[in-house]
């Protein structure tokens, strides 16, 4: 239902406009609409959700972006606060290396993980013990960090029970934990070198994380594996639920509308059809390089103009983090055949050798000498890359059997991939051949190792590359969690300062989502979406 405020403004004029209908923008819009503001959410695609999205093909449901969700004390708190009902199931994780597969059930699985690594690397038993000890410590910190519902989603003026029973006892532990986290900020690759001598073992522990992931974040993954859940009907149901909330609260959503100019002084945004929309506040919940490329600062004060220029330069010289390649398979084989092997969310490494320099030095060589290298060299590299990599394998039907036609299985196989490689090959004119080589090799590796049942059972196969991600969500370098990890990050990267992550140099413009805070992901996108909405309401 529309509030008085929502009804009484001129056409195309809004209290707040939100650009980007990913999970961050949806969160901001839901909160602002609920507060009675006249809100417009603008999304360039036909559907909202961005990287929290599901789609159907030939009766198979697939998740286009994130494969399962981690609560992190944020998602359920947000749903509860907005009174959104979402039916969810646990999304248990399996870890596999060569023929060894471990089903993670609870914290005691960490011991089994230690045993699995020791079986594969018996000479490194002591070092593995040390790593597992550190993971256990980090898990305790994670219990504190996500131990209560995030206070940002609580009404701290009214909920005295929460303040006295939960927040106040938690705060000292939180401050202590934050100190510990900040001390474990060095890249996980470097950190592991100080404990583990065997490079293959280091790779097996860390190669499925983004380049230079801070140690705390990487080694906290065991906790996150236990936290994963899955909305019935697919991950995209979370976005659907928020979208429904926005319209239920009188908010407006305009899809297939791309913002191509922001006129900051006039408080206007312009879409691809030259239609202008006026705002009092703007929340930019999309790629930040794009914002600074299309913003017009004419008429703003010289001080603000300088700050905008400085921020623009800072953003433009930084890169988005790793992207991802996803292979989608429609398989003529029942779910049970896959259930016997691993859970529906599975991290699998077919070779314990590890990637070593394949995805760093060797790839860098190919990229820097791209004009000189032969196609065959790239294919030889691809062969190694696909044999030594770690795969994230998702079987939506094992989480919700309604998501596949009877007797069949849909599978998504993905891994981190370098945007520049795909971009250069596209420019060189043989991207389709490269993608098809990629798909065949991934399929060979997986069907020769963990899923021999795949052989001759594929009904259809198609893939999304880093270029598809760039095209679809307008994400620089096809990044899926914002900025690449570097010594000096262009956005806030300390949890105690997250309240400032949404600020931009222009007082009426806020930022939210994967580009606003690092390390990012679904929970932080939701958190920044809420913080931005709170700033507007202040
Ligand atoms: C394969 C995969 C696995 C992942 N795994 C995890 C995981 O395990 N855990 C985790 O936390 N995260 C994971 N993520 C990352 C997570 O999905 C994203 O970080 C998060 O969804 C980002 O949300 P967002 O709203 O900030 O941005 P986006 O989802 O990128 O949304 C931005 C929206 O803005 C729109 N837009 C862009 N430009 C314009 C414009 N000019 N005008 C109008 N609209 C525009 C886009 O179309 C898009 O809908 C994964 C992602 C992928 C792809």
Q: For 479-495, how does the pLDDT look when each residue is reduced to its tens digit (9 = 90+)?
A: 999 999 988 899 998 88
Q: Which of 480, 458, 453 is CA-nearest to residue 67?
A: 480
Question: How far is Cα 358 from Cα 338, in angstroms, rounded to an integer?
Answer: 30
The SS3 assignment for 406 reads: coil
pLDDT of residue 512: 98
Q: pLDDT (tens digit, 9 = 90+) per residue, 345-378?
A: 999 999 999 998 878 889 999 999 999 999 999 9
Strands (E), 264-358: 268-271, 276-284, 295-296, 323-331, 345-349
Atom number in ligand 1 closest to CA 26: 25
| Conformation bin of residue 275: beta by default, left when phi > 0, alpha when psi is -120 to 50 | beta
Cα angle value 14/19/20 (rounded, 5°): 140
Q: Which of 141, 139, 147 is CA-nearest to residue 225?
A: 139
DSSP 186-249: SBHHHHHHTT---HHHHHHHHTTSPTT-BHHHHHTHHHHHHHEEEETT-THHHHHHHHHHHHHT
The rounded Å distance from CA 44 to ligand 1 centre is: 13
Identify the helix (H) or strand (E) that includes residue 17. strand 13-19
Atom number in ligand 1 closest to CA 528: 26
Bigger pLDDT: 65 or 2? Answer: 65
Q: Which residue intervals of 280-360 are DSSP H helices? A: 288-294, 302-317, 335-339
Question: How far is Cα 284 from Cα 402, in angstroms, rounded to an integer?
Answer: 36
Atom number in ligand 1 closest to CA 514: 26
Q: Measuring from atom 11 of ligand 1, which residue has the nearest CA?
A: 521
Atom number in ligand 1 closest to CA 257: 43
Share of the chain above pLDDT 90, in %: 84
Question: How far is Cα 214 from Cα 211, in angstroms, rounded to an integer?
Answer: 9
pLDDT of residue 3: 66
326 phi and psi angles, rounded to 5 deg = -125, 130
Atom number in ligand 1 closest to CA 51: 29
pLDDT of residue 145: 85
Whether residue 536 contacts residue 527, with contact meaning beta carbons closer than 8 Å, is answered with: no
The rounded Å distance from CA 64 to ligand 1 centre is: 10
Residue 6 clears pLDDT 70, i.e. is over it: no
How many angstroms separate the Cα of 209 from the Cα of each of 3, 146, 206?
46, 21, 6
The rounded Å distance from CA 87 to ligand 1 centre is: 22
Taking residue 299's Cβ as centre, other Cβ atoms within 10 Å add up to: 10
- Over residues 20-38, mean pLDDT: 98
Find the length of the chain: 538
Taking residue 77's Cβ as centre, other Cβ atoms within 10 Å add up to: 22
Whether residue 477 contacts residue 419, with contact meaning beta carbons closer than 8 Å, is answered with: yes
The rounded Å distance from CA 23 to ligand 1 centre is: 7
Helices (H) and strands (E) counted in the chain, each on its own, are 22, 20
pLDDT of residue 360: 83
The rounded Å distance from CA 22 to ligand 1 centre is: 6
The rounded Å distance from CA 365 to ligand 1 centre is: 30
Whether residue 352 contacts residue 121, with contact meaning beta carbons closer than 8 Å, is answered with: yes
The helix, strand and coil proportions of the chain, stated in percent and rounded to the nearest 5, come to 45, 20, 35
The rounded Å distance from CA 414 to ligand 1 centre is: 16
Whether residue 522 contacts residue 514, with contact meaning beta carbons closer than 8 Å, is answered with: no
Q: Which two tokens stand for residue 522?
A: 């679904």
pLDDT of residue 327: 98
Q: Which two tokens stand for residue 93?
A: 């994780």
Q: pLDDT (tens digit, 9 = 90+) per residue, 323-351?
A: 999 999 999 999 999 999 999 999 999 99
Residue 127 clears pLDDT 80, i.e. is over it: yes
Question: How far is Cα 538 from Cα 536, in angstroms, rounded to an integer?
Answer: 5
The SS3 assignment for 37 reads: coil
- 170-185 burial by CB neighbour count: b if 16+ within 10 A, else e? beeebeebbeebeebe
156 phi and psi angles, rounded to 5 deg = -70, -15
pLDDT of residue 4: 59
* Ligand 1, residues at Cβ distance < 6 Å: 19-25, 42-45, 50-52, 65-67, 70, 258-259, 285-287, 290, 324, 326, 414, 473-475, 480-481, 513-514, 520-523, 525
Q: Calculate the average pLDDT of the chain.
A: 95
Q: Which two tokens stand for residue 201?
A: 């073992």
- Over residues 257-262, mean pLDDT: 98
* Cis before 74 (ω within 30): no
Question: How far is Cα 515 from Cα 521, in angstroms, rounded to an integer?
Answer: 10
């Amino acid at each position: 239902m529309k509030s008085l405020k929502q009804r009484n403004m001129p056409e195309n004029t809004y209290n707040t406009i939100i650009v980007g209908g990913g999970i961050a923008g949806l969160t901001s819009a839901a909160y602002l609409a609920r507060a009675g503001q006249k809100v417009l959410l603008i999304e360039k695609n036909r559907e909202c959700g961005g990287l929290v999205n599901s789609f159907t093909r030939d009766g198979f449901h697939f998740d286009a972006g994130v494969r399962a969700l981690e609560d992190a004390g944020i998602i359920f708190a947000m749903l509860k606060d907005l009174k959104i009902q979402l039916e969810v199931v646990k999304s248990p994780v399996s870890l596999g290396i060569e023929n060894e597969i471990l089903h993670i059930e609870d914290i005691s699985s960490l011991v089994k993980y230690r045993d699995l690594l020791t079986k594969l690397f018996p000479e490194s038993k002591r070092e593995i013990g040390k790593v597992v000890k550190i993971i256990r410590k980090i898990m305790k910190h994670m219990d504190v960090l996500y131990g209560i519902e995030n206070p940002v989603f609580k009404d701290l003026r009214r909920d005295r029970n929460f303040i006295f029973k939960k927040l106040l006892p938690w705060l000292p532990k939180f401050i202590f934990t934050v100190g510990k986290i900040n001390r474990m900020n060095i890249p996980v690759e470097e950190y592991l070198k100080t404990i583990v001598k065997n490079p293959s073992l280091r790779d097996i522990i860390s190669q499925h994380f983004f380049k230079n992931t801070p140690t705390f974040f990487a080694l906290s993954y065991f906790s996150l594996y236990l936290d994963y859940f899955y909305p019935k009907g697919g991950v995209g149901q979370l976005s659907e639920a928020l979208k429904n909330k926005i319209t239920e609260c009188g908010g407006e959503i305009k899809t297939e509308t791309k913002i191509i100019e922001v006129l900051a002084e006039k408080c206007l945004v312009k879409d691809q059809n030259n239609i202008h929309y006026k705002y009092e506040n703007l929340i930019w919940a999309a790629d930040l390089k794009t914002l600074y490329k299309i913003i017009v600062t004419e008429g703003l004060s010289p001080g603000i103009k300088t700050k905008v220029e400085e921020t623009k330069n800072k953003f433009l010289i930084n890169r988005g983090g790793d992207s991802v390649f996803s292979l989608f398979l429609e398989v003529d084989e029942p779910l049970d055949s896959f259930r016997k092997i691993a859970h529906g969310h599975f991290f699998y490494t077919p070779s314990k050798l590890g990637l070593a320099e394949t995805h760093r030095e060797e790839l860098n060589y190919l990229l820097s000498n791209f004009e000189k290298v032969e196609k065959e060299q790239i294919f030889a590299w691809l062969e190694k890359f696909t044999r030594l990599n770690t795969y994230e394998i998702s079987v939506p039907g094992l989480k919700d059997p309604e998501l596949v036609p009877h007797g069949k299985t849909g599978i998504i196989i993905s891994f981190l991939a370098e945007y520049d490689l795909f971009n250069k090959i596209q420019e060189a004119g043989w991207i389709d051949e490269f993608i098809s080589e990629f798909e065949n090799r991934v399929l060979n590796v997986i069907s020769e190792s963990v899923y021999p049942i795949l052989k001759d059972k594929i009904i259809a196969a198609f893939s999304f590359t880093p270029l598809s991600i760039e095209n679809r969500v307008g994400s620089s370098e096809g990044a899926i969690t914002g900025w690449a990890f570097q010594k000096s990050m262009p956005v806030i990267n300390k949890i105690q300062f997250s309240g400032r992550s949404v600020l931009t140099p222009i007082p009426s413009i806020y930022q939210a989502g994967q580009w606003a805070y690092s390390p990012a992901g679904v929970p932080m996108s939701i958190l920044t979406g809420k913080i931005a909405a709170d700033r507007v309401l202040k």
